[in-house]
Chains A and B, each alone.
Chain A
Amino acid sequence: MFSAKISGILLGAAAMLGFTAGACAQTVKIGIISSYSGFLSQAADEMEKGINLHIKEYEKTLPAGVKLEVVRRDDGSNPETGKRVAQELITRDRVQLLFGIVSSPVAAAVAPLTAEAKVPLVITNAAGAGITRISPYVVRTSFTLWQEAVPLGQWAAKQGWKTAFTAVSDFLPGHDAEGAFTKGYTDGGGKIAGAVRFPPANPDFAPFVQRIKDAKPDVAFLWVPAGAQATGMLKAARDLGLREAGTKIVSTQDLAPDEELPNIGDIGAGLITAGTYSTYGERPANKAFLAAWEKEYQGKAIPDFLSAHGWDGMTMVFDMIRATNGKFTGDEALKFFTTWKTDNSPRGSIAIDPATRDIVQDIYIRRHEMKDGKLVTVEFDSIKQVKDPWKELNPPK
């Protein structure tokens, strides 16, 4: 096999080039992987706008002589493609950081590479709880479903709502949401009256809502992916008069992201969600974020939690670049990230937990209601500085 020698030589040469690039260049190269096409493109678009906005606003604050170069690659919502583009970003484009990723399977596919190449990955959405365990080079600035749904379950039990019905999409994020809510709710003394899982690509939710209605629970926990499905679910709930029958509806923020609120309209009134970010959050940092957003996108787009998570991810990266003057190795960047914190996120105070490299943040309990003919979000309660409960419940083996 003549190729063996050559591949060996190539490997060595490329490895030297790749992993010393950080030490000699003033150009900081970041590879963004996102689902620009495929079924997650809507979420990717929201995240992208947050990332780009931060770069645009703060690029000038980088230390003199440091130039930022961003390479964007599409994973097409597909793990194989995601892994390949990550591979190419590391070996061909020689990026020093990987960034972004909407889909959990893609993140799980990319994570092992980061350990092999010693290139840190900053995840700004993919919420699968176990992902940060796959490689010590993964840091997450978004959330996990457990982080939202466990506090929500506890909160619901505290309201004196005795019975709950869970209804989730039948794939892993749905299972996560169901497990987390059930854990929080039953720990708080509530009783699960029934649970239903529906096929991930499901055109009509009415039969499931009917089942919930027939069971007459105090509260229904719903979880479906953001977008068309979420609106469809809420429509079915309204059409069947679930709330009029005396059942409260709770969910995570996925059901009612900010940019969908105008679309959802009055069918969302009365919904209660647990989430990390809302455009209605009364925080100075959020006001500044929204002002910058408005200036850039001029009313053509509405930010949501994905935008905020992307923005915060970039804040962390920029802080690191400033701290190292743009000269850093993968390990140095990682070390900076694991102790990073800020009080100036649009979401409030956030920090990276050094033990798990996952984010610690406030979880807000929000009510959606109609105000001046528009569906708005009101943050009326919060649980402070929540760590990912999944990692506490499932200690590393």
Chain B
Amino acid sequence: MTAPAADAPDRKADIDAFARRHKFRWTEALPWAAAIACYFTFENYHALGAQIFATILFALSLDLLIGYAGIITLGHAAFFGVGAYAAGIMAANGFHEPLSGLVIAALAAGIAGFASGAIVLRTSGLTLLMQTLVVAALLQELANKWTSVTGGSDGLLGMKIDPVFGVFRFDLFGNTAYIYCLAVLFLGWLAARNLICSPFGRSLTGIRENAARMRAIGAPVERRKIIIYTISAALAGVSGALIAQTTALVGLGALSLGRSGELLIMLIIGGIGRLYGAFIGVPLYMIAQDRFAAVDPVFWYFWIGLFMIFDGVFARGGALGVIARRRGGSPPQ
């Protein structure tokens, strides 16, 4: 952007705004306050809450790719699944400690992300979409075939998870699961927030907006894409491990196209590239699903479908996009 000299004061305001945008705002504490309040007000919904937190982390990892790096994928469940199976297979084979399970899951999913990213990230658009979809489909087929390790279509059973820190047992009511998932989500969010505010994060946005120009100024575009893909995969893996550990099971659905697609829908509903889209879209979708499914399970698809059409046509940019437009605010960062 080249601004004429006459606009200098404006420009200073811009620079100030730019410097401020990475500072914590009080609104950013809202989701966490709400989550803690919900612990006490909705004590019968802790199991659902835990799954929502884990899914928010998953959606956050997808937002890093789509919203910040402009990498559109339909196979993000691959890494969720790798993480879930890694944590699950460990826990089913005598290694019951949960925190190390998360670390292993992050490593396994990160490696899968790095390896597949190195292959598929050379393409873009529909081709990239298909490549990511195919990677997930291949892994799902592998999990289906390799029944001795994964349990195949019956799912991985017999997982045992030790109490967190040796104290907090995963209970029937989901109390431990709620706090555990919330804490991990908080750490994941901190990491993601730091990442996108860093120069590395800003360069990703540059790649999204104009990869050719980024190349021209000497940014190693391909390498940065692979790095963010790996990081995102690791986060998705942690999310998968959270679900696996708190439910004590992993099924083939963890790797399915359905899971990737549903996640994408949740994120689009919330708003992409705004860091908080996941915090709005995921609870909205999952709570609506829970409620609709209780009232009219058969036609849940019909109503959510109508909502999505309406959302896609009239509420472009998701919930946060609408809010930003109403306030005359900015496009995604």
Contact = CB atoms under 8 A, between A and B. Distances in A.
Nearest to A35: B297
A7 B175 contact: yes
Given A74-B297, A200-B153, A170 B144 contact: yes
A328 interface: no
Q: Contact size class for A? A: 35 or more
A80 B45 contact: no
Interface string B131-168: 00000000001001101000011110100000000011
A227 to B, nearest CB: 16
Most A CB within 10 A of own CB, among B44, B45, B243 = B44
A170 B247 CA distance: 26
A80 B247 contact: yes
Interface of A is mostly: helix
B301 interface: yes
A171 interface: yes
B39 interface: yes
A199 B157 CA distance: 23
A172 B153 contact: yes
B48 interface: yes
B171 interface: yes
A4 interface: yes
B228 interface: no
Contacts of B155: 79, 105, 108-109
Interface in A341-388: none
A11 B176 CA distance: 10
B283 interface: no
B144 A80 contact: no
A11 B173 contact: yes
B248 interface: yes
Contacts, number: 113
Contacts of B217: none
B227 interface: no
B301 A87 contact: no
A172 B144 CA distance: 9
Contacts of B45: 88, 92
Contacts of A84: 47-48, 51, 247
Interface in B250-297: 251, 253, 293-294, 297
B298 interface: yes
A37 B168 CA distance: 35
Interface in B193-212: none
Given A4-B168, A36-B293, A80 B251 contact: yes
Nearest to A112: B248
Nearest to B44: A92
A3 B180 CA distance: 11
A108 B157 contact: yes
B300 interface: yes
Contacts of A186: none
A76 interface: yes
Contact of A117 (B157, B168, B172, B174): B172
A104 interface: yes
B43 interface: yes
A88 B144 contact: no
Interface in A82-118: 83-84, 87-88, 90-92, 104-105, 108-109, 112-113, 116-117
Nearest to A9: B175
Contacts of B181: none
A134 interface: yes
A7 B301 contact: no
A90 B47 CA distance: 12
A47 to B, nearest CB: 13
A389 interface: no
Contacts of B293: 36-37, 73-74, 76
B175 A3 contact: yes
A16 interface: no
A175 B47 CA distance: 33
A263 interface: no
A105 B172 contact: no
Interface of B: 39-40, 43-45, 47-48, 51, 141, 144-145, 147, 152-155, 157, 167-168, 171-176, 179, 243, 247-249, 251, 253, 293-294, 297-298, 300-301
24 contacts: A1-B168, A3-B179, A6-B40, A7-B171, A7-B176, A10-B175, A37-B298, A41-B298, A72-B294, A78-B251, A79-B249, A80-B253, A83-B247, A84-B247, A87-B174, A88-B45, A105-B251, A108-B157, A108-B249, A116-B172, A128-B154, A171-B144, A171-B153, A175-B147
A-B pairs with lowest CB-CB distance, top 8? A36-B297, A74-B297, A7-B175, A171-B153, A92-B44, A74-B293, A105-B155, A79-B251
